[in-house]
Amino acid sequence: MNFDPRFSGRKFASVGTRPIRPDGIDKVTGRARYGADFNMAGQLVGRILRSPHAHAKILKIDTSKAEKLAGVKAVITAADLPDLTDGDAAMYDVLDNCMARSKALYDGHAVAAVAAVDARTARQALKLIQVDYELLPHVTDVDEAMKHTAPLINDSIFTEGLEEKPKKPSNVTKRSQFGHGDVHQGFGHADFIVERSFKTEQTHQGYIEPHACVANVSSDGTADLWVCTQGHFVYRQHCAQLLGLEASKLRVTSSEIGGGFGGKTHVWAEPVALALSRKAGRPVKLVMTRDEVFRASGPTSATSIDVKIGARKDGTITAAEATLRYSSGPYAGTWAEIGAMTAFACYKLDNVKTVGFEVLVNRPKTAAYRAPSAPMAAFAVESAVDELAKELGMDPVEFRIKNAAQEGTRSSYGPVYGPIGIGPTLEAAKTHPHMKAPLAKNQGRGMACGFWFNFGGQTCTDLNIGMDGSVSLAVGTVDVGGSRASLSLVAAEELGIAYEQVKAVVADTSSLGYNDMTDGSRGTFSSSMATISAARNAIKILRDRAAQMWDIPVDDVVWENGHAIAKGEKYGNLAALSLKEIAAASGKTGGPIAGHSELVADGAGVSFATHICDIEVDPETGAARVIRYTVIQDAGKAVHPTYVEGQYQGGAAQGIGWALNEEYIYGKDGRLQNAGFLDYRIPVCSDLPMIDTQILEIPNPNHPYGVRGVGETSIVPPLAAIANAMSNAAGVRMTHIPMSPPRVLAAIEAEREGRA
């Protein structure tokens, strides 16, 4: 059956309602099983030995004493994870990150691992492993790493994206460029120009659940992996390739996930657990400590960004340019490329240019964090936009409205926009009560816009109808933000039945076809499209079964509101058949009834948001407190509005922490100094205001219900919105994130001295 993904403009009965979440009771009562909650008979405890050095050659590893310790069943090093990547540079980086080979590249890099009968024995075994290092110079700052005098992290890296291949290796792995027009000419037409440099420090996603897995490799070559992940199909592919297993023989089951936000899109310790199990011949459970999570799993990039924007007196932006430098850890990434893509995406620009540089540093491998790279770019651009509006004497909202991208605008990164929500979110912000609320002394208001491009990808879904009329929906996208409830609503909507009749489950990799990673805000978008397709395939079968029961042509049967209806006056004596009635008779009409769908979900639809923030700054200490916050964002169609509001609020809360407090702090020795929640301070309830939300719905024309991804855009504007509020409250323009009290106080004092 051909599937038409175009928006149909239908009215909804289930979609858009707010039913109770299906996993809520299990989670609040403790019955939900997370990564560390799974156990197998005879399992061992895995532990990893990590480098205490930021950069060092590994001269020798002696594991003999550890191997002789009673209770130790396996000890592995890189020798137990040979290179099977067949020249795939990206996969080799994953392998090297899982277990260091010739060099330790950051504080926390895995160098060996053990499996023992209990945790105490495993810890003792780690202490018995002797590693001889030769210390090497290190670099942890993104700007320092770009200097020609910086220590070289990987001498096989030559900068990509240049007109000619460089003759010398570099810490800069890639140069990316986007834009159109002539920025030099555009700046020549500007009456006002703002040019600023910005820095953001590295942050962590701060998920409460650490990385955890249980691995079991059997003697027949089959293997099982239970793991907290955002993409168990991708984990299967990567782990199978790294260990030389047949992917079909590795079954991966995703647990409940206690937060991911992009940080659980990469394998970290899972291949190590599998290698330990293979060597020990027993299941191995491996759970990271919080220290390991900070030191050795993917944080964001630290950045250094230069922005230049020019405008005429009437407020029209004539040119915009940005140079963005993003750290990627010791391995090549695509983070600056994404930053360069998203930087000016909110605006209609005739002359625009962005250049991104990916930079190696001696820090952990960088991973995604909710709209990865976009918050830093938006911080720089939206700060400069606000400053330019002040130079022009224009209201910052009006200035943005005048220059906002529209349907038909060629985006700064290439594509031409369809229907988009940046203008409507700005208009809503302009008239929102928050904008008119009075401010007290030392308080300021700021606003900013944000963008995320979203994507879809490969998706597979099964919909099975039980003989009692219940519906089981098997999906392959991990539920990281309420998608099981949303997908149940979609199935109920399409079938015309009650939400309570549908139960959605996340199937393991042996029970369903391949699904891409649940990231990029693709979960509900792609799986709802596949669910609609699967439901329509099931409806085709339901119509056929009803036709059999009535002994009439199937073309005379239509499906309406959960019932098969015989159309035409000649069938006036045939009562409608419900889904439950048809299902009850399925054993006599051809057997089980199911719908299946596999598709590549294209046309995800870009997403825009506008945020408003009020803060209060203590001029004596530099401490800042967010006192009011509003998120206005286009959802396309809010399938489950409560979940959508939760995504908006969650992104804003994380952005508030990022803007004011959170950062990785490295010492001169290259070691992380705050690897724990006592010293790395994420916001708690008392740090946050009530976060107001306003859902706009500008339908995505490429989805039957108009759905757009919503999970990532909400973290993009906060850094800039808070910085703009800070400028209005304290009278200083902050260009370094986080805006911690010492930085703010220093800026205030410098401003006072400048006026003296």
Return the amino acid letter for 420. I
pLDDT tens, 20-33? 988 989 999 999 99
Q: Tell me, what's the pLDDT at 30? A: 95
Decide if pLDDT at 756 tops 80: no
Decide if pLDDT at 205 tops 80: yes
If pLDDT is split at 50, 70 and 90, which confidence band does 102 have?
A: very high
Q: Tell me, what's the pLDDT at 520? A: 87
**3 state SS of 414:** coil
pLDDT tens, 367-409? 999 999 999 999 999 999 999 999 999 999 999 999 999 999 9
3-state helix/strand/coil string of 634-669 = ECCCCCCHHHHHHHHHHHHHHHHHHHHCCCCCECCC
Decide if pLDDT at 413 tops 90: yes
Name the strands in the sheet holding 502-506, side by side, starting at the edge strand that comes first in the sequence: 502-506, 471-475, 457-465, 593-601
**Residue 212 and residue 276: Cα distance in Å, rounded?**
14
pLDDT tens, 51-75? 999 999 999 999 999 999 999 999 9
If pLDDT is split at 50, 70 and 90, which confidence band does 251 have?
A: very high
Instruction: Calculate what percentage of the chain has a pLDDT beyond 70.
Output: 100
Q: Can you say whether the dihedral through the CA atoms of 58, 333, 518, 423 is positive or negative?
A: positive
pLDDT (mean) for 283-307: 98
Decide if pLDDT at 624 tops 60: yes
What is 351-406 written as a DSSP string? SEEEEEEEE--SSPPP---SSTTHHHHHHHHHHHHHHHHHHHT--HHHHHHHHB--
pLDDT tens, 255-280? 999 999 999 999 999 999 999 999 99
- Determine whether 134 is exposed, middle or buried from the number of CB atoms within 10 Å of its CB (0-12, 13-18, 19+): exposed
Return the amino acid letter for 477. T
pLDDT tens, 534-584? 999 999 999 999 999 999 999 999 999 999 999 999 998 999 999 999 999
Decide if pLDDT at 150 tops 80: yes
Q: Tell me, what's the pLDDT at 754? A: 82
